[in-house]
Structure 1
């Protein structure tokens, strides 16, 4: 079905072997010339002892490679670049790097004093703005490779600030079980990425999701799934599906319900192409409202149009449904960043309240109905702005609870009371919607 595709299975397999080999350099060997590795192992973490040998490695003929868009470690590098520069200048690593593997990896990189390199880093990092900093430090960088689909799309504005117009390439779609698809147009806009499925990498099945139905609906019991499932050859353009995958392992065949909601966008020859939409079971709800991950992402993106002309971009966000008071309401945690290196200003209350109102106005009709003054079973939406670095602290918490550092993605709907407490402890401003959303728009 994909005989005319530009990428063969063999070349894709060799590619992934090469990537896996490079990703292991922290524990085993110095990276090959021409590679730059940024935080694939969680190097932006503030916790001592976690992936201390990651961060920035400089080679002008390189490209940047990320695990997820969220892995871009610029926040920590903004806070710690002086320490990094000092290490490079003196050829000595920081005292807090104590793990033997990390010390060995850093010693391979810091094998001598490099004052000229440190001077060039200082010159760039001391500039008023960090816009395009990747191209300034690595002038021959060709592109950034990262996962920027689904909830990762929120990091595209941050990537655009720091990459200075470099292409952001999302080459493959897959999971721990298998690689499912490849991006046949790697230089397309990040928001337009679709993946062409590779038929012989796994056996794919698709559970249709009605376009007007809540994708988190569990009406279809597992015993009756077979009555609705279609195979790869029978999916339809414009239809949403939940992906099911059967893979072969040493002990037999395993069938997985992946929990990914996909949209069929077209075909490459006769092979279907899919856009990743969202994860299943990610939802905010107070009453009978159901706000999905995609709904929330779209609303937040629209609301940020208020702040972007003022020099802000949204570094990360999360949310939860606060039912501790009556009526309950949506709470969004925003970590904002300035495009320049100026001190963070006091946020304008009027603009932030407009953001709250615009988020509400961008949600669905059911939410707006329940926010109506005559019903009012949902209270005004609240945005809590948190200190810079807060979502790194949140990541540290989840990793300490057993989440894989390489697989971590910021949860968009937080259930953990401890996690909510961490975010609340770092709030610097609270703002509420002052307007009831218009049900006619």
Structure 2
């Protein structure tokens, strides 16, 4: 039976209010979370190994259990995949999340009903915050456009389904999430990415009052916008006739299901055709004039892509929802157009490694209320997937507090940098610079990637850019000089090394479609399209191999 979105929203606001109360007593909530978790996990294989049943205090926990990377868990998750039980968690593992592998080796993360309940709780808290934020702006929460696949990838030898995180979440909580979709749940079952996006757009276009769009990353939102523009005529024609384009690669059984649901909407098709004719294009804001929000990841490299959002969304608010990974929920956003998010104190037990401890063999950690505004930390999680003091490698900055819970912003993954000598330029550095250059030169970029030259020692920085369609860079040398200057500003170690050892950078303007080719290569490696993260720095000298360079510019 369908549940009215308004009832779900009201429930979400109550969940959010309960979460807010708990942020007044962060220490107590975190301590209780750890006690409860250790009680549950005490008789698992890993729990017995670290004698967690004997642990009474947080200090004892930190002294008794080491900080562990994924490599320490990998043999255990492989055994879970083979069907062994009570290894990391006493609960039955109902799904194994396969991480994207776009920033490193793929990992298997156990999901249980208990850990999934925590994800649901965080999602409802997020919806509660969003609905209230929209109400303050006289906007409404409502039906959403979502294009993530719900296909499972297969079953392990131990008879456990596995696949991407978003597919697992949407499958296990199908009854909840389908209430919010502006299109049938069946549209997400399509295997072909283009077909899935097209059909989701087609059904969503029937809903003129659709309120939101959601995707894991801003780049994926822009891809959906591109599909809407590119296939506008086809979509309107299908909408008018109640058909689904025959050239789409759709599994016959699913096509049959969807064609039965595809009702002709000639009046709506006429409205959209008039918009397309008068404006020369179809954007989300033109198609859905009541669009209230876009939900996607904030922090890290997101701002680079957000500079192109006004073209498609005008002043529509951007909401971060939750900052999470396959391994856990880290924080929840309390408002729209805000980068700081509240530590998800009900989702994991958190510790923070200060920057001056990153190279220590046994680093000292801080608790949630001990961190300082303006400082950067590596974040550790202990949760119901069975991970203790797990070092995911994410670097966050504390930007404030929400009551007694810290507000954090994701910066970058530790270890992700390029170095000609020892300067360690991170993706965060690179994105800050390229974001500033887009503004200064009024030049939207399709994308960029900083790599290193192959035949220079020390290597020079190669600034690889692809210009957005119909844009031209009139003074490429000024652009390159400005890149060099701004990188010195944000990375002191680069500035020091440029004075002596690092040669001047080179600008490479790539042919149109270059980064689409790179993304296609990533998809061919098995990275799910809903989890595609594009690296903006790479020490892999072959990362851009085979792409056509239209122009090279030296200082």
What range is the shorter-chain TM-score in?
0.7 to 0.9
Give, in whole Å, the separation in 2 of the partners of 1:281 and 1:25: 30
Q: CA deviation at 1:20?
A: 12
Query: Who is 1:143 aligned against?
Result: 293
Q: CA deviation at 1:430?
A: 3.0
Residue 504 of structure 2: SS of its match in structure 1? coil
Mapping of 1:241-390 within 5 angstroms? 241-249=377-385, 252-308=386-442, 312-326=443-457, 328-337=459-468, 344=470, 346-348=472-474, 350=475, 352-364=476-488, 365-372=492-499, 375=500, 377-390=501-514
Query: Who is 1:81 aligned against?
Result: 232
Q: Does 1:401 align with 2:522?
A: no
Residue 303 of structure 1: SS of its match in structure 2? helix
Give unpaired runs (5+ residues) of structure 2: 1-18, 30-117, 129-142, 152-170
Residue 219 of structure 2: SS of its match in structure 1? helix
Greater radius of gyration (CA) = 2
Query: Who is 2:197 aligned against?
Result: 54
Of 122, 125, 131 in structure 2, the residue corresponding to residue 12 of structure 1 is 122
Residue 383 of structure 2: SS of its match in structure 1? strand
Of 201, 204, 207 in structure 1, the residue corresponding to residue 347 of structure 2 is 201
Give, in whole Å, the separation in 2 of the partners of 1:294 and 1:183: 20
| TM-score, length-scaled by structure 2 | 0.62
2:149–2:189 CA contact under 8 A, matched in 1: no
Q: CA deviation at 1:357?
A: 1.0
Q: CA deviation at 1:387?
A: 3.9
Q: Structure 2 vs 1, CA of residues 220 and 106 (structure 1 numbering), >3 Å: closer, same or farther?
A: farther
Mapping of 1:24-173 within 5 angstroms? 35=182, 49-55=192-198, 56=201, 57-58=204-205, 59-62=207-210, 63-72=212-221, 73=223, 74-90=225-241, 91-100=243-252, 103-104=255-256, 106-107=258-259, 111-126=262-277, 133-173=283-323
Give, in whole Å, the separation in 2 of the partners of 1:243 and 1:333: 31
Q: Structure 2 vs 1, CA of residues 244 and 84 (structure 1 numbering), >3 Å: closer, same or farther?
A: same
Residue 483 of structure 2: SS of its match in structure 1? helix
Q: Does 1:238 align with 2:256?
A: no
RMSD, aligned α-carbons = 3.7
Query: Alpha-carbon deviations, 1:183-232, whole Å to 9, x = none?
Result: 12x13x3xx4111112221111111114xxxxxx96323xx13xx21222
Residue 456 of structure 2: SS of its match in structure 1? coil
Q: Structure 2 vs 1, CA of residues 233 and 361 (structure 1 numbering), >3 Å: closer, same or farther?
A: same
1:144–1:168 CA contact under 8 A, matched in 2: yes
Give, in whole Å, the separation in 2 of the partners of 1:281 and 1:363: 19
Give, in whole Å, the separation in 2 of the partners of 1:156 and 1:149: 11
Residue 419 of structure 1: SS of its match in structure 2? coil
Give, in whole Å, the separation in 1 of the partners of 2:270 and 2:525: 40
Of 178, 183, 191 in structure 1, the residue corresponding to residue 328 of structure 2 is 178
Q: CA deviation at 1:347?
A: 3.5
1:67–1:146 CA contact under 8 A, matched in 2: yes
Residue 461 of structure 2: SS of its match in structure 1? strand
2:477–2:553 CA contact under 8 A, matched in 1: yes
Query: Alpha-carbon deviations, 1:266-323, whole Å to 9, x = none?
Result: 2111111112222211212112222111211111122223331xxx312322221123
**Greater strand share, 1 or 2?**
1
Residue 289 of structure 2: SS of its match in structure 1? coil
Give, in whole Å, the separation in 1 of the partners of 2:310 and 2:244: 33
1:205–1:230 CA contact under 8 A, matched in 2: yes
Query: Who is 2:115 aligned against?
Result: none
2:23–2:404 CA contact under 8 A, matched in 1: no
Q: CA deviation at 1:24?
A: 7.0
Q: Structure 2 vs 1, CA of residues 431 and 36 (structure 1 numbering), >3 Å: closer, same or farther?
A: farther
| TM-score, length-scaled by structure 1 | 0.77
Residue 226 of structure 2: SS of its match in structure 1? helix
Q: Structure 2 vs 1, CA of residues 24 and 239 (structure 1 numbering), >3 Å: closer, same or farther?
A: closer
